[in-house]
């Protein structure tokens, strides 16, 4: 009689998760916990700021547009309209109206046509990060007094529209006096808008004086 050889069942092995994997999960958990704490603090701060600004409080708004700027509380230029005549003009606007202006003219703010001169208002309107990316009014106003390297840094922060505005300032100054602006700055600012600003100023000066007839 033949004998059947029995084969032993293979022993089941229990594998444990690597220690490194557990440590990674702990790190991820801690990172998530810190993010939640940061978010909670930010929301609490936002709540405090919202409560600190009354809807009737005036907030200074500064035009950073080289020319007339109209900010309307309604869409498509409707509602209450605040008219700025020149760059640097300040108009105090009730926070209630400013909320509507930002809501309906957010692209104007993003392009750098106006500046909200109140950090709490920026946070309450949720535009602080947007505004922090743009140059300040002081930087725009005094860019022609800066050295070339500082001017380059300011221009990197500028929107396309702000660069064009600064270039228009330069052209106006050159039309009155070619020696009124450092030519190194003229070159840097001109390069930012791909124009020869000295040539542009000469052409415009001829047109204004009647030399283009």
Taking residue 104's Cβ as centre, other Cβ atoms within 10 Å add up to 18
Q: What is the pLDDT of residue 6?
A: 53
Domain holding 153, by residue range, is: 137-209
The neighbour count for residue 74, using CB atoms within 10 Å, is: 14
Tally of structural domains, the chain:
2
pLDDT of the residue at 31: 77
Q: What was the pLDDT predicted at 79?
A: 93
CA atoms within 13 A on the CB side of 125: 29
Instruction: Say what percent of the chain tops pLDDT 70.
Output: 81
Domain membership flag for residue 64 = yes
- Of 132, 165, 181, which residue sits at a domain end? 132
Is it the case that residue 58 has pLDDT exceeding 80? yes
* pTM: predicted TM-score of the whole model, two decimal places: 0.71
Q: pLDDT (tens digit, 9 = 90+) per residue, 122-157?
A: 999 999 999 999 999 999 999 999 999 999 999 999
- Whether 29 is covered by a domain: the verdict is no
State which of 77, 101, 132 marks the end of a domain: 132
Boundary residue ending a domain (109, 132, 155): 132
In a domain? residue 155: yes
Does the pLDDT value for residue 62 go beyond 70?
yes
**Claim to verify: residue 78 and residue 126 sit in the same structural domain:** yes
**Predicted pLDDT at 54:** 92
């Amino acid at each position: 009689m033949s004998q059947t050889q029995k084969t032993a069942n293979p022993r089941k092995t229990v594998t444990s998760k690597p220690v490194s994997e557990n440590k990674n999960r702990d790190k991820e958990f801690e990172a998530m916990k810190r993010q939640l704490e940061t978010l909670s603090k930010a929301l609490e701060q936002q709540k405090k700021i919202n409560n600190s600004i009354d809807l009737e409080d005036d907030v200074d708004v500064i035009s950073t547009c080289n020319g007339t700027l109209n900010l309307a509380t309604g869409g498509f230029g409707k509602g209450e309209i605040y008219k700025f005549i020149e760059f640097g003009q300040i108009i105090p606007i009730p926070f209630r109206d400013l909320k509507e202006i930002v809501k309906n003219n957010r692209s104007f703010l993003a392009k750098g046509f106006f500046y909200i001169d109140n950090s709490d208002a920026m946070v309450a309107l949720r535009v602080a990060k947007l505004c922090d990316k743009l140059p300040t009014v002081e930087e725009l106003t005094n860019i022609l007094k800066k050295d070339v390297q500082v001017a380059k840094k300011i221009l990197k922060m500028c929107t396309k529209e702000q660069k064009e505005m600064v270039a228009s300032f330069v052209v106006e100054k050159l039309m009155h006096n070619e020696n009124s602006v450092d030519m190194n700055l003229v070159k840097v600012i001109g390069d930012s808008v791909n124009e020869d600003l000295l040539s542009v100023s000469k052409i415009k000066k001829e047109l204004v004086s009647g030399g283009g007839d």
